[in-house]
């Protein structure tokens, strides 16, 4: 605009010069107009192509968006299903974990019980070993005393047999003494009254009986002393 104003303020030397000037200006404007029209057509053509491309891209984007919406809905549904499944599995796993913890506690309790029982068994085993050693010692002592008692019993049985023999001897002597007395009595009854002979026979029989009794008494005392 400032250039045109400056051109309008120019002074021309002649009318032809002014005509040429304005004619050149018209040609220049016409050229500019043509170039502008070309640019406009190119812009419109390019804009149409760009608009078509944008519309195609928009359709593709809308189609893609629709697909994505369907996928979002599908994924949301699958997500809910997975969440429900995970929730169910989580509850089941929590229950399983609780059961395993209880079982672990039971196993630990059983282990502690076994440990205590093993210690008790070891203590009992030690006690049994000590009792076994003490019992073996007692058995050895008992066997020693038993052997001594058996020997002493055999000795006493031997002496008892001797004592029984002495008792039988005493009883036999008593029987013989009784028989002698009866024989003396019978002789007294059957023999004629010879006082001197009867006295001598009686004295002889009494001496015989006294000697036998003293002999048995001496043997009895000796046997009793041996037993003592």
**Span 187-207, pLDDT tens digits:** 878 765 554 454 455 555 556
Nearest to 202 by CA among 177, 185, 178: 185
Q: What is the pLDDT of residue 138?
A: 82
Q: Quick one: tokens of 52? A: 């078509």
Cα separation, 21 vs 27, in Å, equals 10
- Residue 110: the pLDDT is 94
Which H/E stretch holds residue 28? Answer: helix 15-190
What's phi and psi for 13, nearest 5 deg? Answer: -80, -30
- Give the range among 40-54, 152-166, 203-217 with minimum mean pLDDT: 203-217
């Amino acid at each position: 605009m400032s250039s045109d104003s400056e051109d309008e303020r120019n002074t021309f030397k002649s009318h032809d010069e002014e005509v040429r000037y304005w004619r050149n200006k018209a040609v220049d404007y016409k050229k500019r107009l043509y170039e502008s029209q070309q640019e406009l057509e190119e812009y419109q053509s390019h804009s149409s192509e760009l608009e078509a491309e944008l519309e195609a891209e928009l359709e593709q984007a809308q189609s893609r968006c629709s697909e994505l919406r369907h996928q979002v809905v599908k994924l949301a549904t699958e997500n809910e299903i997975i969440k429900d499944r995970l929730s169910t599995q989580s509850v089941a796993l929590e229950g399983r974990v609780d059961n395993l913890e209880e079982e672990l506690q039971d196993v630990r309790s059983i282990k502690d019980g076994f440990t205590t029982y093993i210690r008790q068994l070891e203590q009992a085993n030690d006690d049994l070993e000590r009792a076994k050693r003490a019992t073996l010692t007692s058995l050895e002592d008992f066997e020693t005393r038993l052997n001594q008692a058996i020997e002493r019993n055999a000795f006493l049985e031997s002496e008892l047999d001797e004592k029984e023999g002495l008792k039988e001897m005493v009883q036999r002597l008593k029987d013989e003494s009784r028989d002698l007395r009866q024989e003396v009595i019978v002789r007294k009854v059957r023999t004629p009254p010879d006082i001197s002979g009867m006295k001598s026979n009686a004295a002889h029989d009494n001496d015989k009986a006294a000697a036998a009794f003293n002999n048995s008494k001496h043997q009895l005392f000796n046997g009793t002393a041996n037993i003592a």
